[in-house]
A and B are shown apart, each in its own frame.
Chain A
């Protein structure tokens, strides 16, 4: 159970302070599949990065299973983060390493620091990593350098890395925006499968509205830092979408 309370995020920029999130309140139940929509710059990415503590909010709290993760000391925060997978638009793989090495990075949080430095993963870690590669159909490519893989394959490696953390929450920031429609569907199906089979909570930022409506159980929408919609995909009417993307103003 994730509770977000009175969340505010302000960045100091060269042009002065910029408020990205304004008084956001919401709850996410375990096993949910939430799609976050909104225009670029509406605060979606900031919201996602606040959920795993990559960003510390200016004020407000994010309470996960009873603990406020915005107040955690560094060590505890790292411990929390290993239970949260994160998938990026740019994949963010270490491209000079093999697919297996990249997936093993998902296990680093579970290793003592010195073993991590030397890359001394346990047998169990290898098993988990190989298993995840298999689940994304890349078992054959485990020794291939990541920069020799295609975009779709790279994103699957990134998903396997996140799943190797054995997360309870999976965050995805535009995971399909760099991929063609077929691969986008594939990524969404993979996430859906993890959501259903492993019971992982999924929160995903997405531009493609059709994919959001097709796969998500719940849709939330941001407009200029405010939460403006929270409901079932069926409740999202055209007028809400028009308002969200400010289409009328564009047409006028």
Chain B
């Protein structure tokens, strides 16, 4: 509870803080309102347990509305607030009213005891969403082509219908994405008798369970008065029949999002009440943007398990690490350990990996980039198809990160820098190929036309009109690419592809932090030297 209050207070405080800046506050009412609607429909609020942990699902507020109809006040309150916000002056009342209603409704749900509910998957909803996604992405094409609008829209509708049926068919999308069918669920209340029956069944089975727990040396469990006292799972049978024990107070990220957003709405409303002039004409657009950002950020924080508390827990390790890493151990003659020596030679290997990789990439990218440049390949249909093939090749390969190429190559050719060099060369080839071919496409057309006019053959036009123009750019891109390659070759060592990264990984794993520190300092120094040298060189070129 305190956590939820903290989130609410945080939202109010943030809104008041922004009120100080005298920007439009109505946009925060609108943005928080729209985001609240998203939270209400799509974000998990409480937890509902089944028998196994994989039976656990986290219902949304919309899904819980049949269980607790008062929750309907949340969207109604928000809609009322949005309606009031449409007329600038009343936005303050809207924010206060909407925020308060949301807080009260969600708070009273939070205070409900645990209860048994039945889940009702909505069949076809996910299929419909997928179909709408497919249809609208096809329909987007119609925007830029007003002439073919009708056939494109027809095709979009057809694609949507096909997507729906494919997804819905027994061997269709559901076979690949089994969770997605009926993913969205509504929850309906159950009769009180079935709840008491479950309590009785639990209490009856308790002696047997406690006997087992005694043998395992675990604490014995008390008989329960109601399902609210039930710890852990509901019976397997009930779980498989679609019953769940929903625990309103076991909040999920949607709850934190809701209380925070309601706090913002309330706070913004309060500021607006004091100063009703704080609104601007484009508040709705800004509000939609705010809602989009909030709608993406809130689940992202949850999915990445963002928790500053972990840093507090991990603090002793950081302290210990710092103690053991400083001062760095440059050399220790008594034990015949010379980390500095090793670091310098490994850094040299790393730079050399980047050098060879970049060189190979540049040599191969040069001819390939001409095949991947639109303006050079416009002559014949054959050249055109070569162009598309080259582009496709470069685009697909560019999607594979250097690290993954290195992982595969290490497995193929063994540990060591050679795998790293090849990984760098392959990935850089795609990067340089793209950069080079863009330089070629941006070359001045004038000299090309002039040399065509002299009757020079096609390859000679490329050689004398385009190459002199792009060569300095090629060199500049290559130097920049070397800079990037040096940094990626640092990481390649971690997967065993040689260089300083390997050294650091090894020292970290064996707890020799003072030796590892030498490598880290060396990397910082060399990265800066290379950055500086590269930008100096490139500035001389252009």
Residues of chain A whose beta carbon lies under 8 Å from any beta carbon of chain B: 52, 54, 78-86, 88, 90-94, 96-97, 105-106, 108-109, 111, 113, 116-117, 158, 161-162, 165
B449, A108: Cβ atoms under 8 Å?
no
- Interface hit among B231-239, B454-462, B524-532: B454-462
Whole-angstrom distance between the Cβ of B450 and the nearest chain A Cβ: 4
Whole-angstrom distance between the Cβ of B337 and the nearest chain A Cβ: 54
Known interface pairs A88-B446, A108-B460; A94-B465 also in contact (CB < 8 Å): yes
The listed residue (A78, A92, A93, A162) touching B457 by CB distance below 8 A is A78
Q: How far is the CA of A105 from the CA of B453 in the complex (A)?
A: 10
Q: Which residue of A lies closest to B456 (CB)?
A: A108
Known interface pairs A90-B446, A96-B472, A113-B459; A52-B465 also in contact (CB < 8 Å): no
B460, A116: Cβ atoms under 8 Å?
yes
The listed residue (B446, B447, B455) touching A81 by CB distance below 8 A is B455
Known interface pairs A88-B449, A88-B450, A116-B460; A109-B469 also in contact (CB < 8 Å): no
- Range for the number of chain B residues in contact with chain A: 20 to 34
B453, A94: Cβ atoms under 8 Å?
no
The listed residue (A54, A97, A117, A165) touching B452 by CB distance below 8 A is A54
Given contacts A78-B456, A81-B455, 19 further A-B contacts (CB under 8 A): A52-B453, A54-B449, A54-B453, A81-B453, A81-B454, A88-B449, A92-B450, A94-B465, A94-B468, A105-B451, A106-B454, A108-B454, A108-B457, A111-B460, A113-B460, A116-B457, A117-B463, A158-B450, A162-B454
Known interface pairs A88-B446, A88-B449, A93-B447; A82-B460 also in contact (CB < 8 Å): no
A165, B450: Cβ atoms under 8 Å?
no
Q: How far is the CA of A158 from the CA of B447 in the complex (A)?
A: 11
Whole-angstrom distance between the Cβ of B73 and the nearest chain A Cβ: 53
Known interface pairs A105-B451, A116-B463, A117-B463; A94-B456 also in contact (CB < 8 Å): no
Residues from chain B with a CB closer than 8 A to the CB of A52 are 453
Residues from chain B with a CB closer than 8 A to the CB of A80 are 455
Q: Which residue of B lies closest to A78 (CB)?
A: B455
A96, B459: Cβ atoms under 8 Å?
no
Q: Which residue of A lies closest to B449 (CB)?
A: A92
Is B464 interfacial (CB 8 A cutoff)?
Answer: yes
Highest count of chain A CB atoms <10 Å: which of B444, B453, B464: B453
Q: How far is the CA of A52 from the CA of B459 in the complex (A)?
A: 19
A96, B450: Cβ atoms under 8 Å?
no
Residues from chain B with a CB closer than 8 A to the CB of A84 are 453, 455
Residues from chain B with a CB closer than 8 A to the CB of A86 are 450, 453-454
Whole-angstrom distance between the Cβ of B366 and the nearest chain A Cβ: 14
- 29 A-B residue pairs with Cβ-Cβ distance under 8 Å, sorted by A, are A54-B452, A54-B453, A80-B455, A81-B454, A82-B454, A84-B453, A85-B453, A85-B454, A86-B450, A92-B444, A92-B446, A92-B449, A93-B447, A93-B450, A94-B447, A94-B464, A94-B465, A96-B469, A97-B464, A97-B468, A105-B456, A108-B455, A108-B456, A108-B460, A108-B464, A116-B457, A161-B454, A165-B454, A165-B455
Residues from chain B with a CB closer than 8 A to the CB of A81 are 452-455
Q: Which residue of A lies closest to B462 (CB)?
A: A117
Q: Which residue of B lies closest to A80 (CB)?
A: B455
Q: Which residue of B lies closest to A82 (CB)?
A: B455
Residues from chain A with a CB closer than 8 A to the CB of B451 are 105, 108
Interface string of B466-504 (1 = CB under 8 A from A): 001101100000000000000000000000000000000
Q: How far is the CA of A78 from the CA of B469 in the complex (A)?
A: 23
Q: Which residue of B lies closest to A167 (CB)?
A: B454
Residues from chain B with a CB closer than 8 A to the CB of A78 are 455-457
Residues from chain A with a CB closer than 8 A to the CB of B471 are 96
Q: How far is the CA of A90 from the CA of B464 in the complex (A)?
A: 18
Q: How far is the CA of A158 from the CA of B450 in the complex (A)?
A: 9
Known interface pairs A94-B468, A96-B469, A116-B460; A109-B455 also in contact (CB < 8 Å): yes
Residues from chain B with a CB closer than 8 A to the CB of A158 are 450
Q: How far is the CA of A83 from the CA of B453 in the complex (A)?
A: 9
Q: How far is the CA of A88 from the CA of B465 in the complex (A)?
A: 15
Residues from chain A with a CB closer than 8 A to the CB of B457 are 78, 108, 113, 116
Highest count of chain A CB atoms <10 Å: which of B457, B463, B465, B471: B457
Q: How far is the CA of A223 from the CA of B384 in the complex (A)?
A: 37
Q: How far is the CA of A243 from the CA of B456 in the complex (A)?
A: 41
Residues from chain B with a CB closer than 8 A to the CB of A93 are 447, 450
Residues from chain A with a CB closer than 8 A to the CB of B444 are 92
B412-452 with Cβ < 8 A to chain A: 444, 446-447, 449-452
Across chains A and B, which 4 residue pairs bring their CB atoms closest together, nearest first?
Answer: A109-B455, A82-B455, A92-B446, A81-B455
Highest count of chain B CB atoms <10 Å: which of A82, A85, A109: A109
Q: How far is the CA of A94 from the CA of B456 in the complex (A)?
A: 14
Q: How far is the CA of A97 from the CA of B469 in the complex (A)?
A: 9
Q: Which residue of A lies closest to B465 (CB)?
A: A94
The listed residue (B449, B453, B455, B460) touching A79 by CB distance below 8 A is B455
The listed residue (B446, B459, B468, B469) touching A117 by CB distance below 8 A is B459
Residues from chain B with a CB closer than 8 A to the CB of A92 are 444, 446-447, 449-450
Q: How far is the CA of A68 from the CA of B463 in the complex (A)?
A: 30
Whole-angstrom distance between the Cβ of A155 and the nearest chain B Cβ: 12
B58-101 with Cβ < 8 A to chain A: none
Residues from chain B with a CB closer than 8 A to the CB of A91 are 446
Residues from chain A with a CB closer than 8 A to the CB of B464 are 94, 97, 105, 108, 116
Whole-angstrom distance between the Cβ of B465 and the nearest chain A Cβ: 6
Whole-angstrom distance between the Cβ of B538 and the nearest chain A Cβ: 17
Q: How far is the CA of A113 from the CA of B150 in the complex (A)?
A: 51
Q: How far is the CA of A108 from the CA of B450 in the complex (A)?
A: 12
Q: How far is the CA of A86 from the CA of B452 in the complex (A)?
A: 10
A96, B468: Cβ atoms under 8 Å?
yes
Interface string of B358-392 (1 = CB under 8 A from A): 00000000000000000000000000000000000
B454, A117: Cβ atoms under 8 Å?
no
Q: Which residue of B lies closest to A75 (CB)?
A: B457
Residues from chain A with a CB closer than 8 A to the CB of B453 are 52, 54, 81, 84-86
Q: Which residue of A lies closest to B380 (CB)?
A: A74
Q: Which residue of B lies closest to A104 (CB)?
A: B464
B450, A117: Cβ atoms under 8 Å?
no
Known interface pairs A105-B464, A113-B459, A116-B463; A94-B454 also in contact (CB < 8 Å): no
Q: How far is the CA of A85 from the CA of B455 in the complex (A)?
A: 9
Q: How far is the CA of A2 from the CA of B266 in the complex (A)?
A: 84
Residues from chain A with a CB closer than 8 A to the CB of B455 are 78-84, 108-109, 165
Q: Which residue of A lies closest to B451 (CB)?
A: A105
Residues from chain A with a CB closer than 8 A to the CB of B450 are 86, 88, 92-93, 105, 158, 161
